[in-house]
Amino acid sequence: MEINPLAVLDYAGIGADVFWVKDAGYVIVCTVVAVLVFLTRGRGVHQQTLLWLDAVGLCVYACVGAAKSLSLGVDPVICVVMGALTATFGGIIRDVLAGVPSILLSRELYITPAIVSAAVFIVLRTVGMDWTVATGIAVALGFFIRAGAIRWKWAMPAFAPPKGK
């Protein structure tokens, strides 16, 4: 019996192809960019610029992941989760490779804008709004939250155990 390697990689069980396995162009582009970043060590790119670009990418990819899941007939709640995972997984890998604590473990608003973008996109698409308009609105709302975290240091409240215990 022959095993389809793409079927093995379909861990979510939703019947979606692992797109980058079928087209080496994605891996080639990522490798070239990684080598360029390694060689230049980030010279010439301001850290704030990277934060803002990451904020845009976070919200866009939340919508992309949610849209892909929705197109495969996945439950809308799971679409929001898949959108948030799609948006934040790259940041987790970045933090691990950079040897820094993950931003997801901090109080900073990072996954919240991704969840907002994905949820707003799914709600707007579910009520029939055009996907481009839904994406624009969802990205803008998520970006507003992430921008607040960057600009005004918005953060989640810290956990405080009950007093007297």
- 21-58, pLDDT tens digit by residue? 788 998 898 899 888 878 887 677 788 888 899 999 99
pLDDT at 97 over 70: yes
Question: What is the Cα–Cα distance from 140 to 76, expressed in whole angstroms?
Answer: 20
Q: Cα Rg for the chain, rounded, in angstroms? A: 18
Judge if pTM exceeds 0.75: yes
**H or E segment at 132?**
helix 131-151
**H or E segment at 117?**
helix 111-126
Nearest Cα residue to 146 out of 83, 26, 82, 56: 56
pLDDT at 74 over 50: yes
Give the confidence band of 2 by pLDDT, cuts at 50, 70, 90.
low
Name the most confidently modeled range: 7-21, 58-72, 95-109: 58-72
Nearest Cα residue to 54 out of 108, 5, 9, 133: 108
DSSP 160: -
Exposure string of 72-81, with b = 16+ CB inside 10 Å and e = fewer, is: eebeeeebbb
DSSP 13: S
Give the confidence band of 105 by pLDDT, cuts at 50, 70, 90.
confident
Res 37: pLDDT: 78
End-to-end CA, the chain:
60
Res 42: pLDDT: 67
